[in-house]
């Protein structure tokens, strides 16, 4: 029997519901395979502002650092739009505190959800299986911010070092070696000095991976190409802000933002796993949220941080089984399907482990 300590950050909005769904499935895994998962729930985001006056209490950081990995729901919402500090600052802070510099976001079109994709069939005939590797602790989100005292202008600094680009590039190339050995590096090197450095560094790094084909795209063209011919992509590596945008686009192509997981990793096995969607406060507490993205994020945690490959496959297979049985949450509902709520979808997946 293996034992693991998991820090749970339910967060705001639908966060508690979807994390609860993932725990239901993890409990089914522990029962079948004889593992023990110890959960510690902590505060982050808007709920932490309400309770502690700050989005990331030190207690949360300490518990996360002592855990084997972190499972996150979602943070933020209009309730805190006028708060002195935004709930999302907690998310940026925990990534920094845990030194999680890479974010892996797989976007896979499940055949059961082909009709849910906004793209026409001919654009999906070759399928969709894209991995977006996003740099997570640098760039404009962490650069210096300034606002004029009279409010007449504001600026945000985009800054990258060679080492920051090299370490995220290495993740992308090594990921590609396990896939189709193709990397598209996305930048804006025709305009930005930071992107020129990014491209130059990626070209130098590619010499260490002669088996991997490296190509480059400007971010605007990459967005267009994802919509025109998503099958051309294998691994996309890009900066923090570009990755934030492109991974959401690739997820929408896959049918629903409620289906896709992500893993935030650093130099150790301890990672943070979360769905790529937001807190959806408009449907919070209604038991209609889709827990699948959080559930398959937990599967990524089992495989990538805990080395439980068979258990991760069992979760993904259970998700496929439930979709094959025509059960759907509201966001992926179509004619002839059976609508279920958040808790029931999690229960069905757990039942099929």
Backbone angles phi, psi at 38, to 5 degrees: -100, 120
Measuring CA to CA, which residue among 237, 268, 240 is closest to residue 99?
268
Whether 110 is a known active-site residue: answer no
| In contact, 175 and 233? CB cutoff 8 Å | no
Q: Which of 62, 208, 220, 324 is catalytic?
A: 220
| List 68, 89, 101, 188, catalytic entry | 188
- For the chain, what is the total number of helices (H) and then of strands (E)? 11, 14
Provide the CB-side half-sphere exposure for 144 (13 A, CA): 1
Q: 67 Cβ partners below 8 Å, 6+ apart?
A: 5, 6, 7, 40, 270
Tell which residue, 94, 15, 10, 97, has the closest CA to residue 55.
94
**Is 266 in contact with 278 (CB distance < 8 Å)?**
no
- Annotated active-site residue 141? The verdict is yes
Among 43, 101, 141, 273, which one carries the catalytic annotation?
A: 141
Q: Of the listed 68, 187, 234, 244, which one is catalytic?
A: 244
Residue 241, beta-bridge partner list: none
Q: Is 187 a catalytic residue?
A: no
Q: Are 261 and 297 in contact (CB under 8 A)?
A: yes
Select which of 27, 248, 287, 320 is catalytic.
248
Whether residue 30 contacts residue 22, with contact meaning beta carbons closer than 8 Å, is answered with: no
Catalytic residue flag (residue 68):
no
Is there a catalytic annotation at residue 62?
no
Enumerate the active-site residues.
141, 188, 220, 244, 248
């Amino acid at each position: 029997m293996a034992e693991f300590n998991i820090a749970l950050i339910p967060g705001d909005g639908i966060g508690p519901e979807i994390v609860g769904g993932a725990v239901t499935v993890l409990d089914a895994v522990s029962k079948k395979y004889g593992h023990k998962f110890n959960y510690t729930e902590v505060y982050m985001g808007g709920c932490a502002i309400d309770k502690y006056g700050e989005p990331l209490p030190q207690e949360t950081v300490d518990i996360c650092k002592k855990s084997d990995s972190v499972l996150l729901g979602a943070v933020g919402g209009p309730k805190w739009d006028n708060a002195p500090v935004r709930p999302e600052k907690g998310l940026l802070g925990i990534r920094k505190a845990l030194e999680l510099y890479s974010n892996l976001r797989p976007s896979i079109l499940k055949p059961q959800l082909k009709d849910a994709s906004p793209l026409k069939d001919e654009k999906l005939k070759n399928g969709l299986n894209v991995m977006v590797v996003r740099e997570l602790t640098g760039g404009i989100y962490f650069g210096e911010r300034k606002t004029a005292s009279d409010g007449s202008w504001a600026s945000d600094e985009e800054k990258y070092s060679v080492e920051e680009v090299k370490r995220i590039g290495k993740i992308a190339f090594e990921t590609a070696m396990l896939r189709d050995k193709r990397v598209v590096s996305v930048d804006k090197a025709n305009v930005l000095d930071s992107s020129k450095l990014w491209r130059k560094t990626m070209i130098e790094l590619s010499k260490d991976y002669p088996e991997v084909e490296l190509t480059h795209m400007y971010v605007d063209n990459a967005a267009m190409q994802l919509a025109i011919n998503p099958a051309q992509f294998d691994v996309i590596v890009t900066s923090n802000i570009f990755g934030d945008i492109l991974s959401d686009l690739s997820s929408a192509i896959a049918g629903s933002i409620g289906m896709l997981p992500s893993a935030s990793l650093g130099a150790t096995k301890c990672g943070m796993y979360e769905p790529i969607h937001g807190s959806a406060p408009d449907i919070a507490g209604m038991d209609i949220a889709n827990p699948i993205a959080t559930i398959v994020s937990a599967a990524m945690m089992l495989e990538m941080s805990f080395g439980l490959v068979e258990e991760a496959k069992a979760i993904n297979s259970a998700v496929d089984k439930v979709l094959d049985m025509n059960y759907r949450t509201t966001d992926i509902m179509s004619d002839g399907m059976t609508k279920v709520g958040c808790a029931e979808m999690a229960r069905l997946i757990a039942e099929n482990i």
